[in-house]
Amino acid sequence: MELKSLVAEIRTTLDMSQQELAQEIGASLLSVYRWEHGTGTPSPAQMSILEKIHQNLQAGNGFSPENIKKTFLSRGVKRQSYANTLFEYLVPKVDLSVEPHQPILQRITSQRIFSENGFEDLNYILSKHKNAAATECVPPQPGISAGKNTYTYDAHTYHTKVPPQGIAELISYYLPKGGLVLDPFAGSGMTGVASNFIGCDAILNELSPAACFIADRFTSTIPGDLFEAGVQTILDELDYLRKELYTTTCRECNQPVEIIYTIWSYNIICYQCGHEFQAWEHCRKYGASVKEHKILNDFPCPHCNKTVKKSKALRTTSEPVMVVYKCCQGEYKHHPLNDFDRTMLSKIEEKFFVDWDFAPKVNLPDGINLRQPKKHGLDRIDKFYTSRNLIATSQLWKTIHRVDDEQLAAFLAFAFTSLYQRVTRLAEFRFWGGSGNMAHFNVPFISKEANVFDTFQRKAQTIQDHLQTTATRYHGRSIVVNNSATDLSFLPDNSVDMVFTDPPFGANINYSEMNILWEAWLGRFTDSTNEVIINKIQGKELGEYEELMARSLAETYRVLRHGHWMLLVFMNSSKKVFESLKKAIVDAGFNVVQIDIFDKQHATFKQLVSENTPGSDLVFHCQKPELSAKGNKDQKFSEKDVYQLLNKFLENVAIDTFRVDYLHVNRESEFDYRKLYSSWLAQSLSNGQPILDFPDFRDAVRQWLIETENSDYL
């Protein structure tokens, strides 16, 4: 049966909405929507679930969610709640010391290991896996599709994450009876989450102390009721400060009410007439719905009426312009500041003080992503915050350090670090909401000063959702090591059963720069000497990137067992970066057996706004040969062959399936060059054929569509 008919029949028989079906099978709403519209394909595991449901319905056995729910819970599925406990004595007691304890990282690490017993715990994990685990001889059926809609994915932000349910599907295939998994570029630890969820052990190697901390917390667990009690204890302890910092008067009933956030705007000077004016008053445009409201990039100057481009205008001061609160009628209200608000703001700095022992007075070094905030005066981490939010965050951080239970304190710190850019001046105001956490630092013209305590409370709930769903099902263990991938000397030769990794994509994300915001609070910083990246400030061009990647993959090859697999997730718009990566893989000794697509189902913000950003990631299935030998080599092609090969590829694909649909933004369905590029790369790289940069590929496809009278897709 055709996929869209299969899904439609299941929904009709069960009287389920697309959202309800998505939640029951652990998929995203967007996935189900695309399956029914013929523009998406389930992963093999998802297809198996759909077929099992259909077979049960055909046999008259009905629908049993407990029999098919073998994956990570999708948002919307009911989970246990500890709120409103009837008996007070059942609520765990959380003790706060008078004075703060040692810094969080000192309390939960031993040497470079995020574990109480350090290398002793690492060696114990290795001793459990002295014998090689069983592994498959050939790659699985191509096509992994896993969305970002799970409680676990939402629990804590990171610059890029691979959805763990997709990783779990691949590890389960290659290690059907369990084993030891390594991720040499562990990032936020999703490989560990996936491994622990299916019963494998994992070693997570990561250069950044901040990423190590996030990975360690993602792969650790704590009772949900204890975490909830800890959050409430912290909030109760600081309730007086919350009221002093974030109170306004309800314009409807004139009673005190809590501020949810405050909108701030820069004043700018028109470069055509020299007059100064407030950006907020003149760069807003309202549509018929919130989805259509906009902050304009170009707008007329109120003095000379000539068009002003925000990017060219000189900024002066930033000031609060609106307060947002939930009124007595239960609705969110936006109002200009009144006299009460202005008086309160003026008194904050006089009455309350930043605790500089628990605030990051750290200078920003030179960096690709650090130039923009420094340009606008944010040259120290503490300047990323308004005075009000710096007071709140410093006192919150100090109080977390007073928690006696070190594991609880670490999880509360996990909730704190999940705030990231949300409570800083970098949080851009968007009419439709959104977190404002992006993989670069940008000081917006219109910013959102979020209530620190309200944001902490809401983010803690997402972590509790993870603790009460995914983390309760861990039956494997992860060890996190703060270390460079270029030197895995803490691991013996031929000691791990599988490698799954998502290495840095060339110059796409400057991790050490972006992690400085976390690391300034945590007190440990990335040593970027061996950071595998293209970054001119660090003096690393493509050659240096290739050399560092080659060293890392050579180490990975050394510690992986013969006949076992490395799965490497990668995407870049540059053919030179791809060719560099492929060379490093082959030179290390791996055979590249298959390359296919890892569809994360949701475009990133950068993919939505930049047409030069490619789409779905690729998965390189690389095998370490049974006998030591160099990997497979590419065929030789001349550069002119590439367009002929591309045309042949286009003639043999179903062009009408390459559409991208948008559910949550007001945007029409359009042709998906990014998805098509991923498919073409997977085939071409697997066959050792030449490739193009993404912009050149997109132009070539556009020309082909015109020449073949398929211009309707343009």
Confidence of residue 609 (pLDDT cuts 50, 70, 90): very low
In percent, the amount of the chain with pLDDT more than 70 equals 86
Q: Between 235 and 39, whose confidence is greater? A: 235
Q: 């949900």: which residue's tokens?
A: 224
Burial of 102 (0-12, 13-18, 19+ CB in 10 A): exposed
Report percent pLDDT > 90 for the chain.
59
pLDDT at position 87 is 46
Residue-wise pLDDT for 557-596, tens only, equals: 999 999 999 999 987 767 788 788 888 999 999 999 998 8
| Residue with the larger pLDDT of the pair 377 and 606 | 377
Residue with tokens 């099978």: 25
3-state helix, strand, coil in the chain (%, to 5): 40, 15, 40
Residue appearing with tokens 């003026």: 346
What is the pLDDT at residue 614? 40
| Cβ atoms of 123 and 130 closer than 8 Å | no
Say if residues 50 and 194 touch (Cβ distance below 8 Å).
no
Higher pLDDT, 682 or 389: 389
What pLDDT is recorded for position 26? 67
Spatial separation of the C-alpha atoms in residues 443 and 467, rounded to whole Å? 34
Domain boundaries, the chain: 3-68, 104-219+474-633, 225-467
Q: Which residue has the tokens 């060379």?
A: 583
Indicate if the pLDDT at residue 288 is higher than 90: no
Cβ neighbours, 10 Å, residue 176: 13
Domain 3-68 fold is 434 Repressor (Amino-terminal Domain) (1.10.260)
Q: Are 537 and 366 in contact (CB under 8 A)?
A: yes
Mean pLDDT of 285-314: 91
Looking at the chain, the number of H-run helices and the number of E-run strands are 27, 20
User: b/e for 109-129, b at 16 or more Cβ within 10 A?
Assistant: beebbbbeebeeebeebbeeb
- pLDDT band at residue 630 using 50, 70 and 90 as cut-offs: very low
Q: Structure tokens of 144?
A: 């992994």
User: What pLDDT was estimated at residue 260?
Assistant: 96
Which amino acid is it at 469?
A: T
Mean pLDDT, rounded, for 200-210: 98
Mean residue pLDDT of the chain comes to: 86
Which of the four pLDDT bands, split at 50, 70 and 90, describes residue 667? low
Per-range mean pLDDT, top range of 260-269, 627-636, 657-666 = 260-269
Tell me, what amino acid is at 8? A
The CATH code that applies to domain 104-219+474-633 is 3.40.50.150
Structure confidence at residue 75 as a pLDDT band (50, 70, 90): low
Residue 104 to residue 130: CA distance in whole angstroms? 33
Strand 670-671, strand 659-660: pairing: antiparallel
Please state the rounded mean pLDDT for residues 530-551: 94
